[in-house]
Amino acid sequence: MAEYQPWTGHNKHSCAIFEDDFVHSVLSFAFHKQSPSSEVTLREDISQRQGKITTNHHLALSLPLTPTHSLHALFKPNYYRVMYQHTIPPA
């Protein structure tokens, strides 16, 4: 058995601070396609929480309008976000 060193070691206890109710991902898969003019990502997550199996999916799009301007969109079942990005080119 290794020697206990107080500055790096700690005693192990059988108690837990949090109850284990976190989401445990059962299966995840994603499809990502990138071309010179666009980018598409489709993701599906299947998880189990408190005995129930749930799914979560989203679709992300990225479209460059010009070399310094882009349009990004994210779609989820009850949520969407559209963002316009203007990049300052290097001098």
Give me the DSSP letters along 18-47.
Answer: S-S---EEEEEEEEEEE-SS-EEEEEEEEE
Domain containing 56: what range? Answer: 24-86
Using DSSP, state whether 58 is helix, strand or coil: strand
Q: Is residue 10 part of a domain?
A: no
Q: Is residue 16 part of a domain?
A: no
On average, the pLDDT of the chain sits at 78
Residues contacting 62, CB < 8 A, separation 6+: 38, 39, 40, 70, 71, 72, 73
Question: Is the model more confident about 67 or about 16?
Answer: 67
Phi, psi of 31 (to 5 degrees): -120, 125
Give the Cα separation of 6 and 42 in Å (integer): 49
Q: Is residue 59 part of a domain?
A: yes
Q: Is residue 5 part of a domain?
A: no
Percentage, residues of the chain above pLDDT 70: 73
Q: Is residue 13 part of a domain?
A: no
Q: What is the pTM of this model?
A: 0.59
Q: Is residue 91 part of a domain?
A: no
Binned at pLDDT 50, 70 and 90, residue 60 comes out as: very high
Q: Is residue 6 part of a domain?
A: no
9-53, pLDDT tens digit by residue? 555 555 555 555 554 567 888 999 988 888 999 999 888 777 788
Number of structural domains in the chain? 1
